[in-house]
Amino acid sequence: MELEHYFPIWGKLTGAEKVILEQSAVERAAPKGTMLHNGSSDCVGVFLIRSGQLRAFILSDEGKEITIYRLFERDLCLFSASCMMQSIQFDVTIEAEKDSELWVIPTDVYKKLMDTSAVVANYTNQVMASRFSEVMWLVEQIMWKSFDKRLASFLLEESTLDGSDTLRITHDRIAAHMGTAREVVTRMLRYFQEEGMVALTRGAIELKDRKRLQQLSE
């Protein structure tokens, strides 16, 4: 068990708290595409990411999506245990976006730790504030940034996450991430291609001019 290397505040926990976490956390493999948490229908526990990449998104009544943030190694996912905080009045869906490994800390175990330990409660607060900040960034993007700028940012971010200039992603998936329609994405990508910023091939988008994409996104 290497939980101690991944739990960010391990060194600040008491011996008893460490034992509780080690005994209750369950390792889980989540291959790409696994739905790990489905809105309000479950409350499986807090996820601690060991490797891979998770995506948190919200769903409209009509099935439209928008990505609100990603989770990476050492991140803690609170919303898969949202029933432990009655003030959380929204539903988030969590899926594995890459092959991932994680620990599941049962909701009641985490809640008990948080209720009794100021250290755990304050760390939870920091995690919540980080996610909140990401959503506030999203609000600003949606309200004040035009779609071409948002798309340029998205392509650059994906390229960084994948470590490649060639993105294997469909226009449909981009539309789901950004909460828009596929046609809107396709139209803008074609414009980017005409401008020499990207090259579109079957199933892939190649970034040809990162500098201009960067300028556009700013």
Q: Which residues bind a copy of itself (CB under 8 A)?
A: 58, 60-62, 64, 66, 68, 85-90, 114-118, 120-122, 124-133, 135-140, 142-144, 179
Minimum distance, C-beta of residue 76 to a copy of itself, in the bound complex (Å): 12
Given the complex with a copy of itself, which of 66 and 199 has the nearer CB atom? 66
Minimum distance, C-beta of residue 188 to a copy of itself, in the bound complex (Å): 18
Helix segments in the chain, DSSP class H: 3-6, 15-24, 107-116, 118-144, 147-162, 171-178, 182-194, 210-217
Distance (Å) of CA 36 to CA 62, 150, 185? 21, 27, 27
Minimum distance, C-beta of residue 29 to a copy of itself, in the bound complex (Å): 29
Minimum distance, C-beta of residue 196 to a copy of itself, in the bound complex (Å): 28
Given the complex with a copy of itself, which of 88 and 156 has the nearer CB atom? 88
- Rounded Cα distance between 142 and 179, Å, is 10
Crossing angle between the packed helical segments 171-178 and 182-194, to the nearest 10 degrees: 110
The burial of 179, by beta-carbon neighbours within 10 Å (0-12 exposed, 13-18 middle, 19 or more buried), is given as: middle
Count CB atoms within 10 A of the CB of residue 196: 10
Residue 34 C-alpha from the chain's centroid: 14
Minimum distance, C-beta of residue 191 to a copy of itself, in the bound complex (Å): 23
State the DSSP code for 47: E
**Single-letter amino acid code for the residue at 173:** R
Minimum distance, C-beta of residue 125 to a copy of itself, in the bound complex (Å): 5
